[in-house]
Amino acid sequence: MPPMKAFYLTTAIDYANGSPHLGHAYEKVLTDVVARFQRAQGREVYFLTGLDEHGQKVQQSAGKKGISPQAFCDAIALEFQDLCLNLSISNDDYIRTTEERHKQVVGEIQQALFDKGEIYKGRYNGFYSARQEQFLQDKDRNEDGSWPEIFGDVFQISEENYYFRLSRYQDWLIRFLKENEDFIFPRFRQKQVLEFLKEPLNDLCISRPKSRLAWGIPLPFDQDYVTYVWFDALINYVTGSGYMAGDTSRWPADYHVIGKDIMVPAHSIYWPIMLHACDIPLPRHLLVHGFWTTEGAKMSKSTGNTVNPLHLADRFGTDSFRYFVTREMKVGQDSDFTVEQYMRRYTSDLGNDLGNLVNRVLNMVGRYAGGIVPGVEVEEEPEGELKDLFHSTHGKVVELGQDFQFHTALEEIFQFIRAINRYAEIRAPWKLARSERAEDRILLDTALATLAEGLRLAAVWLWPVMPGISEKIQTLLGLEAGFDIAENLVWDYRVVGKSVGGKTILFPRPESK
């Protein structure tokens, strides 16, 4: 039997012409949450991210620094790889488009398309935007005839180039999208693509003369030209899967996670057509997220410095950053990043709800049970209610996670965490501990075990979003940390008899940082 295909997940590959920012960080965290959530469900996951290194902008940025484009990219690659490490991103591979393995695959795909007659040479007379590295048409103009700002300097050129027969596949693509309504998540995005396809597609210029742009992958059939950067970059997903080298255990991708700005035309039009034209299976889905704005995050009294959102991860812990961006962004929509909201989430959800619960459990088990979680002899209504809430929450969390509704899943988990805190108030172990009655001792044991078990389960749920905190809590409860849903998300009092750790502050107050 052939090996089961891995769940293959990719992020966009970041442009190597600047340092990482919040948008890059978010996309990596989101993809990592999906990857970990799938792993928690027992699936084998293969997660690829990387760097998009060719093109005019990189050549220009390197030129300004007086270094070679390769040296420039090497330095940026380190920054992005550091970002992945700092954010606990669990990618299996990191692809750079200047790597030999990638250049080879790009060459093979272009040659195959050329041999099939899908690529031809033609002359273009018209306008060109250097900033966007794009040939322009009259429909790209503003109403008053000027060019939109995003194009930067626009000039007229007359140039021979190679073209990919994109237009030939327009009807096929429309049919494909209509037959596969869930190709793009969220679905409303698919409608935008169909809307775009109401206008006729032009063939795609896939080359740039070396005389004008040297920093790119040479065309295999004409060494005077390099590959247009998008035609090169998209192919990274196939290169990284090993498909062209004969490894079929990953491709097709299950999800390409990308931002809304690069859905049309690159990922929803060029990419499916490129693959279809050379008989490579299509990715199963695109997961298109929205944009973070940071208007509100310029300066903040509460942290006292100019805020780069990425510094908040250094300051308040990776997992708090992962929690914040996952909790605040409904996947597919936009969100505004403000330091105030970050601090609210940090102090209220993480500090007051989760951090306090951890402290309470460790303190009380230490103080009233010698540091060992006692056994359960009775279960009454309060325990039953909490258990019921666990079970109903569990179904919802798994379903929401499958639907990428991680922000609501977190809300559900935190409602459970708050319910455990309320349970502690109801049972009031500090009162039971003062009582001489044997029944109260039994209830005290039950309360401590219930609190510890509830906390354990919440920690397992949180693993995809806060892997470090989840593992820490489980270790503090005397357990080997686990994340597998089927194995670990069972209310079975496996904490009983375990020796818990001492007082630990997981989310220190901002002023004491």
**What does the binding site for ligand MSP look like in residue numbers (CB under 6 A)?**
12-15, 23-24, 26-27, 52, 233-234, 236, 258-259, 261-262, 291-292
3-state secondary structure of 491: coil
Measured CA to CA in angstroms, residue 90 lies from 49, 86, 367, 374 at distances of 10, 11, 38, 36
Measured from the CB atom, the residue of 322 and 427 that comes closer to ligand MSP is 322
For residue 478, the tally of other CB atoms under 10 A from its CB is 19
Q: Provide, rounded to whole angstroms, the least separation between the CB of residue 362 and ligand MSP.
A: 38
Q: Provide, rounded to whole angstroms, the least separation between the CB of residue 290 and ligand MSP.
A: 7
- β-pair type (154-164, 204-205): antiparallel
- β-pair type (207-209, 218-219): unpaired
Two structure tokens written together for 183:
């190709």
b/e map of 272-287 (b: 16 or more CB within 10 Å)?
bbbbebbebebbebbb
Measured from the CB atom, the residue of 216 and 482 that comes closer to ligand MSP is 216
Measured CA to CA in angstroms, residue 397 lies from 142, 190, 345, 450, 459 at distances of 47, 26, 20, 21, 13
Q: Provide, rounded to whole angstroms, the least separation between the CB of residue 55 and ligand MSP.
A: 9
Measured from the CB atom, the residue of 238 and 458 that comes closer to ligand MSP is 238
CA gap 31, 200 in Å, rounded: 33
Residue among 328, 257, 254 nearest 288 (CA)? 257
Measured from the CB atom, the residue of 262 and 419 that comes closer to ligand MSP is 262
Q: Provide, rounded to whole angstroms, the least separation between the CB of residue 50 and ligand MSP.
A: 9
Torsion angle of C-alpha atoms 353, 359, 365, 370, degrees rounded to 10: 180
Alpha carbon 160 to its chain centroid, in Å, reads 40
Q: Provide, rounded to whole angstroms, the least separation between the CB of residue 330 and ligand MSP.
A: 13
Q: Provide, rounded to whole angstroms, the least separation between the CB of residue 259 and ligand MSP.
A: 2
Q: Provide, rounded to whole angstroms, the least separation between the CB of residue 501 and ligand MSP.
A: 37
Which residue's C-beta sits nearest to ligand MSP? 259
Measured from the CB atom, the residue of 21 and 210 that comes closer to ligand MSP is 21
3-state secondary structure of 298: coil
Q: Provide, rounded to whole angstroms, the least separation between the CB of residue 34 and ligand MSP.
A: 14
Q: Provide, rounded to whole angstroms, the least separation between the CB of residue 492 and ligand MSP.
A: 40
Q: Where are the beta strands (DSSP E) in 365-441?
A: none
Measured from the CB atom, the residue of 96 and 345 that comes closer to ligand MSP is 96
Measured from the CB atom, the residue of 298 and 391 that comes closer to ligand MSP is 298
Q: Provide, rounded to whole angstroms, the least separation between the CB of residue 305 and ligand MSP.
A: 21
Measured from the CB atom, the residue of 267 and 345 that comes closer to ligand MSP is 267
Q: Provide, rounded to whole angstroms, the least separation between the CB of residue 388 and ligand MSP.
A: 38
Q: At 192, which helix (H) or strand (E)?
A: helix 187-196
Measured from the CB atom, the residue of 235 and 400 that comes closer to ligand MSP is 235
Measured from the CB atom, the residue of 297 and 479 that comes closer to ligand MSP is 297
Instruction: Say if residues 128 and 154 touch (Cβ distance below 8 Å).
Output: yes
For residue 259, the tally of other CB atoms under 10 A from its CB is 18
Say which residues have a Cβ less than 8 Å from residue 146's Cβ, sequence separation at least 6: none
DSSP for 247-268 reads --SSPSPSEEEEEGGGIIIIII
* Residues across the chain: 513
For residue 455, the tally of other CB atoms under 10 A from its CB is 23
Angle at 182 between CA 109 and CA 266, to 5 degrees: 35
Q: Provide, rounded to whole angstroms, the least separation between the CB of residue 271 and ligand MSP.
A: 8
Measured from the CB atom, the residue of 332 and 467 that comes closer to ligand MSP is 332
Measured from the CB atom, the residue of 233 and 449 that comes closer to ligand MSP is 233
